Amino acid sequence: DTGVSQDPRHKITKRGQNVTFRCDPISEHNRLYWYRQTLGQGPEFLTYFQNEAQLEKSRLLSDRFSAERPKGSFSTLEIQRTEQGDSAMYLCASSSLGAGEMETQYFGPGTRLLVL
């Protein structure tokens, strides 16, 4: 069990550019979540996948954001035409939905995005 990993850990980009982040969940975890955390705030839920299916999207996820989990393993989060307001820490979490128990979400170290 190597934990949830995210890549890159830091990203600096210019306004208007596209960026893509990757998340590798704990192996065999069937659920994967994306959150956004701005300075001084708690994480805010963006979206989640069960296997390859995207089951829920927050209203925070504008049309410029897209997430995929094509084979039910790793996931990517893409932001198109970045804006300065997109500057934040993007956190990924994974969990295993077992029968008869409450799942626990395990978080990765995050990708810190700065849009100039």
Asked if 30 touches another protein (CB under 8 A), the answer is no
Q: Is 77 exposed, middle or buried (0-12, 13-18, 19+ CB in 10 A)?
A: buried
**Helix%, strand%, coil% for the chain, nearest 5:** 5, 50, 50
33 contributes a contact to another protein by CB under 8 A = yes
Judged by CB under 8 A, does residue 31 bind another protein? yes
Quick count: other Cβ atoms within 10 Å of Cβ 51? 13
Q: Which residue in the set 42, 70, 85, 98 belongs to the binding site for another protein (CB under 8 A)?
A: 42
Residue 108 in the binding site for another protein (CB under 8 A): yes
Point out which residues bind another protein (CB under 8 A).
Answer: 4, 31, 33, 35, 40-48, 55-56, 58, 91, 93, 101-102, 104-110, 112
